Amino acid sequence: MAIVLWTMPGLAMGDPMSPGLILLLAKTFVVGLVFSGSIAAVLLRVERWDSRPPILAVATFTLALALAHGWLDAIFINDARAAIGLRVVPLWRQFVFGLMPFVLVYGLYAAGLGLVFSSMVAQERERQLAAAQNAAQEAQLAALRFQLNPHFLFNTLNAVSSLIVTRRNDEAEGMIGKLSDFLRASLEADPQREVTLDEEFAMLQSYLDIEAVRFRDRLDAEFVCPAELLDALVPSFILQPLIENAVKYAVAPSRRAVRIVVRATASEEDMLRLCVEDDGGQAFGGAPRGGTGLGLVNVRRRLEAFYGIEGGLVATARERGFVALMTLPLHRAHRAEAAE
């Protein structure tokens, strides 16, 4: 744009371009191309366009490039003037005289490109939000189907009945309380909201406490998580399908004790890793024996809807047992929110 503005008056008057002017314009064009590409590269790294610090940083960077280009252009012009025998203007005066076009051109370029990129980011966020809402609705329906599963309710109520018949009333009362807490938490959970890892583990523990009455010594569950990760945020009930699969396909058909371990770790790249593993029966084809894999598919869809390519799930059958490894960005709740 600047080159066009500078050359149009001469071209309109029919003046031919001298070799010195062509060389000057070529130098300016190359520097402008490099600096424009640098601005575009910096703008591509801006993830939040509604935050003031990155916008100020881009504006400062753009202004610095405009000043640098103005100074280089002043050097180029003086070199061109000296080459054809004209008087060389003091460098600072030439810099001040020719600076404004660079500031305007780079400012308009950065602003225009920023508007384009911000529009692209907004559209991508809308797409991810729509995908998250669809996946959340599917997850909520799946959760409701599980909550109202007659087989699960029958086994739980049958266990309560057995406790009452054997006059273990205190245990029966505790069992009913755990069932009530689990169903209430399931019904009130918002699949579009993130909860702390501490809350997620508490809901899973309620489910495992219920199933422990049914399977007694055959179910051995453990949660391994550093205290500093308990405030990490995860989608609500994201681990539920993995625990349910472990109970259904590893514990239920087994005649021996099956150990289920839920482990949380953090990587140096600020990624949260959640692993659910068991030492139960064989598995094949990426899904537990007898399963359809729908639970794993639903988990992958929710992770993709929440975190895009940064969220993922890898499920692997081992010689003895099954392991599901989930990765997602490590986000932490504010201390006040975690306390609530």
Highest mean pLDDT out of 86-90, 167-171, 249-253:
249-253
The tokens for 13 are 């008057």
Do the bridges between strand 283-284 and strand 219-224 make them parallel or antiparallel, or are there none, so unpaired?
Answer: unpaired
* pLDDT-based confidence at residue 42 (cuts at 50, 70, 90): confident
Q: What is the mean pLDDT of the chain?
A: 77
pLDDT at residue 62 tops 70: yes
Amino acid type, 168:
R
How many of the other CB atoms lie within 10 Å of CB of 85? 6
pLDDT at residue 288 tops 60: no
Per-residue pLDDT, 338: 44
Q: Which residue has the higher pLDDT, 170 or 188?
A: 170
pTM for the complete prediction?
0.54
For 237: left if phi > 0, alpha if psi spans -120 to 50, otherwise beta; the answer is: left
Helix (H, G, I), strand (E, B) or coil at 320: coil
Q: At 138, which helix (H) or strand (E)?
A: helix 91-147
302-322: pLDDT as tens digits: 888 888 889 999 999 888 889
Per-residue pLDDT, 151: 63
Q: At 64, which helix (H) or strand (E)?
A: helix 52-83
Residues 6+ apart with CB under 8 A from 339: none
Instruction: Give me the mean pLDDT over the 33-49 stretch.
Output: 74
pLDDT at residue 272 tops 90: yes
Say if residues 218 and 258 touch (Cβ distance below 8 Å). yes
Closest to 1 measured CA to CA, from 87, 146, 103? 103
Rounded Cα gap, residues 159 and 164, in angstroms: 9
Residue bearing tokens 């993830």: 47
DSSP per-residue string spanning 68-123:
HHHHHHHHHHHHHHHHTTPPPPPHHHHHHHHHHHHHHHHHHHHHHHHHHHHHHHHH
Closest to 178 measured CA to CA, from 195, 166, 160? 160
Highest mean pLDDT out of 63-72, 115-124, 128-137:
63-72
Strand spans (E) along the chain: 194-196, 219-224, 233-235, 258-266, 271-278, 283-284, 287-288, 312-318, 321-329
Question: How many CA atoms lie within 13 Å of 281's alpha carbon, on the beta-carbon side?
Answer: 19
120-157: pLDDT as tens digits: 777 877 887 777 777 776 665 455 445 445 666 777 78
Per-residue pLDDT, 262: 96
36-44 contacts: CB < 8 A, separation 24 or more? 36/106, 36/109, 38/65, 39/65, 39/106, 39/109, 39/110, 39/113, 40/113, 43/110, 43/113, 43/114, 43/117, 44/117
190-243: pLDDT as tens digits: 667 789 999 999 888 888 888 888 788 899 999 999 999 999 999 888 898 899
Range list for CATH 3.30.565.10 in the chain: 189-339
Above pLDDT 70, what percent of the chain? 77
Angle of the 2-12 helix axis to the 19-44 helix axis, nearest 10: 150
Say if residues 269 and 232 touch (Cβ distance below 8 Å). no
Superfamily holding 189-339: Histidine kinase-like ATPase, C-terminal domain (3.30.565.10)
Q: Which residue has the higher pLDDT, 195 or 31?
A: 195
